[in-house]
Structure 1
Amino acid sequence: MTTQIPLCWARLDSHAFLAAQAIAAALPAPVRELGAETARKVLASPPADVPLTPLARVEDLAVPTRAGRLRARRYHAPATPGGVLLYLHGGGFVLGTLDGVDEACRAIAARSGWDVVSLEYRLAPEHPYPAALEDAIDTFTWLREHDDRVAVGGDSAGGNLAAALCLHLRDHDLTPPVTQILVYPAVDDRFATPSWTEFADAPLLTTADARWLWAQYTGSAVIDEYAAPMKAASLRGLPPALVLTAEVDPLRDDAEAYAARLRADGVPSTVVRHTGVFHGFFTEVGVFAQTDTALDDVARHLRAH
């Protein structure tokens, strides 16, 4: 890391600032310079020897999809589940694993009373758009064959996939999720809102890295509303939403603008900005107090639905 601290880091609280320094020191180069294969190795999160949230039953699944069987993990709620949440991990469509969101999924299941199914969807650039979205659609369809109440959620790229899934189901007159949980979702391809400039050098995800990750995902594809949900002509008829954002995050303003559009189009939506933290905080269970609060936000929202 250079000695020059980005100005936007002054918005971080003391815990997040130390975490940002540690991340910067651990990265030998920006993600866009490391490339997909090396970045996956550097940023991989191994499973904890002893989970912070033990559950009596965590089940490995093989989900049938048009691309073949995909790995997934079902976290069974301690009591009779209120439903099942399909959770889609973040990582800019290029990174991310089941293990990386393991603690968050455990916490959601334990606190909400809902089962959680975490999907290992196909990653770019090996599998560009719409591969990951197809995986999400097929997994949701499969879950609906076994569960009456299915919600969808995800962080970052996973939030994009959750939002796009809801649009696809609406447009094809298919049964929608009971609710959508969008954690700092990537919903727009214009990189035009103020936070892209204000937090261009934010920890973990810079604007330059975000542009590179987006290019890996979309490749030469035409960017439609299922790639960038903000492009949808209308958001009417979508399921109720909970949108969580981080204060120091280039994606912040896009995510909050999407929540505003949902409300304007008659979709019940709640947006919560968590201050003092950066992109990626949601899955860092046990690291930030804001993570614990955000997990409670999600659990409360699921119980209400």
Structure 2
Amino acid sequence: MTEPLWHSLLDDEARQVAQQLADLLPGPLHTLGLQGVRDFTAPLPPSRSTVMATVRDHRVGVPSVRVREYRPSERTGSPAVMYVHGGGFTVGSLDGVDELCRLIAAGARCAVFSVDYRLAPEHPYPAALDDVRAVHAWLTTSAADLGVDPRRIAVAGDSAGGGLAAALCLDLRDRSLSQPVLQLLAYPAVDDSFQRPSWSEFADAPLLGAEDARWFWHQYVGEAGVAPDVLAAPMRAESLSGLAPAHVITAEVDPLRDDGEAYADRLAEEGVLVTRERYRGVFHGFLTDVETFTTARTAVNDACRRLRDAFQTGLVTDQRI
């Protein structure tokens, strides 16, 4: 059997995981069907390796959204990150990003609020965005009661969660509300054109191939596959000016890679302060697998440095792109 062209790009850890996925999956992920995809991607019980002073759940809004709070210390008036998990808008959970949120809280010296938004297709667009919007409003208006500094709140997310975080920033701008101090976007789902080169170069990439991504998109927006508005696909916005500074993370072997990098380029072109990092040798989803991929730890450390800078100054420290 001929190895895919991307095989030689993976580092040893990613190549081993890719082989395990190939052994477990009879075909592309989406061919398992909705319940099969959810069963396959369900996280193992979280390790909780990084100890927190406080971990507690909140219920926010109507309908109720579960939010998990992580605090590395009992200090009040701390900065905060609202974290939005990935999963193609269809899968994913608080437990799936538990250790990642702990590492961010410890590394960025902040509180983290992880959002358990409603999933498609049972709750299609804009349900997830409505939940993210409601949690952000709660976090900003209840900051004093939560022991959070309302002037130092960042938003972050991976994959679908990165797209939701980007959409939130657009929505806040268009409603003339304050921007976060940073938008941390890991391989964000921000476009629905599926046309940039990485979509063909890595069409059969591990875990998430091009057809898988299209399948997830249809679960989110319906069979027609058309974005109802620009908040579903932020790259379609007429302007990206006036948005929060951004740190954009991409994976080398990922159909979504070029979309995330094009979004970072466009942010920079329209006057937004941006840093961008492509992590070599890994594929989509690596960031949340912090106990498997050495590169994930590196990326988290880099992201925490960006967050600390943003919390300290309100701006990222360089404009490298």
1:270 matched to 2:275? The reply is yes
| 1:111-141 deviation line (CA, Å, top 9, x unaligned) | 1111111111011111111110111001100
- Paired amino acid for 2:159: S
1:130 matched to 2:120? The reply is no
Please list, as runs of the form range in 1=range in 2, the aligned pairs for 1:168-187 lying within 5 A after superposition: 168-187=171-190
1:70 maps to which of 65, 73, 77: 65
1:145 maps to which of 141, 145, 149: 141
Distance 1:25 1:252 in 2: 25
- Paired amino acid for 1:99: D
1:242 matched to 2:247? The reply is yes
1:175 CA drift (Å): 1.8
Query: Quick check: 202-211 or 31-40, which moved more?
Result: 31-40
1:163 matched to 2:166? The reply is yes
Corresponding residue of 1:210: 213
1:107 matched to 2:103? The reply is yes
1:16 maps to which of 14, 30, 38: 14
User: Do the aligned partners of 2:53 and 2:74 also contact (CA within 8 Å) in 1?
Assistant: no
Corresponding residue of 1:91: 87
| 1:40-99 deviation line (CA, Å, top 9, x unaligned) | 112100223x4221112111111124xx11112111133636411110000101111111
Indicate the SS of the match to 2:213: helix
TM-score by length of 1: 0.95
Please list, as runs of the form range in 1=range in 2, the aligned pairs for 1:23-42 lying within 5 A after superposition: 23-42=21-40
Distance 1:222 1:254 in 2: 16
Indicate the SS of the match to 1:259: helix
Distance 2:280 2:247 in 1: 17
Q: Where do 5+ consecutive residues of structure 1 fail to align?
A: none
1:233 matched to 2:238? The reply is yes
Please list, as runs of the form range in 1=range in 2, the aligned pairs for 1:248-267 lying within 5 A after superposition: 248-267=253-272
User: Do the aligned partners of 1:79 and 1:113 also contact (CA within 8 Å) in 2?
Assistant: no
Distance 1:79 1:247 in 2: 38
% same residue:
53
- Paired amino acid for 1:181: L
Indicate the SS of the match to 1:185: coil
TM-score by length of 2: 0.90
Indicate the SS of the match to 1:234: coil
| 1:220-276 deviation line (CA, Å, top 9, x unaligned) | 564321000000111000000000000000100000000000000000000001000
Q: Where do 5+ consecutive residues of structure 2 fail to align?
A: 144-149, 311-321
1:145 CA drift (Å): 1.0
Distance 2:45 2:57 in 1: 14
| 1:187-219 deviation line (CA, Å, top 9, x unaligned) | 110001000010111101000100111111011
Indicate the SS of the match to 2:38: helix
Report the number of matched residues. 300
- Paired amino acid for 1:270: T
